[in-house]
Copies of this chain bind each other. A is one copy, B any other.
């Protein structure tokens, strides 16, 4: 009783159920995560979000594992617990080992630290990082 309820599958309009089916098929899972069930209360948002996510996370110049680890780095930095939990699982499924996870955390922690050292010291951008060839 303590959370906004996700939409029940039986109550879903036809075209929303089609999104759920596409998520299950694309990810080869029997059911969608809570995220999609809650998002289903807003069908237009659900459809656009899934359409974008499917396109963005498709392996391309970057493979799926790299993309999932980047997603995790953002989610950890933002302090989004649900996103951290779900994308840690997704990264592991895509091949992230315990050792890789440890190094990922080290980089995330270090970047968050030096970002603030830079802010505190008000370091001006070096000329070589400003060239148009960037």
Interface residues of A (CB under 8 A from B): 1-5, 33-35, 38-39, 41-42, 44-45, 48-49, 52-53, 55-57, 60-62, 66-67, 69-89, 92, 97-132, 134
Copies of this chain, complex-wide, total 6
Question: Closest residue to A128 on the B side, CB-wise?
Answer: B89
**Interface hub of A34, A53, A67, A112 (most chain B Cβ within 10 A):** A112
Chain A contact residues, majority secondary structure: helix
Are A3 and B132 in contact, CB atoms less than 8 angstroms apart? yes
Chain B: minimal CB distance from A57 (Å): 7
Q: Decide: A134 near B88, CB < 8 A? Known: A116-B77, A119-B79, A119-B80.
A: yes
Q: Which residues of B contact A70 (CB under 8 A)?
A: 69-70, 73, 104, 107-108, 111
Q: Decide: A83 near B35, CB < 8 A? Known: A3-B132, A102-B41, A103-B60.
A: no
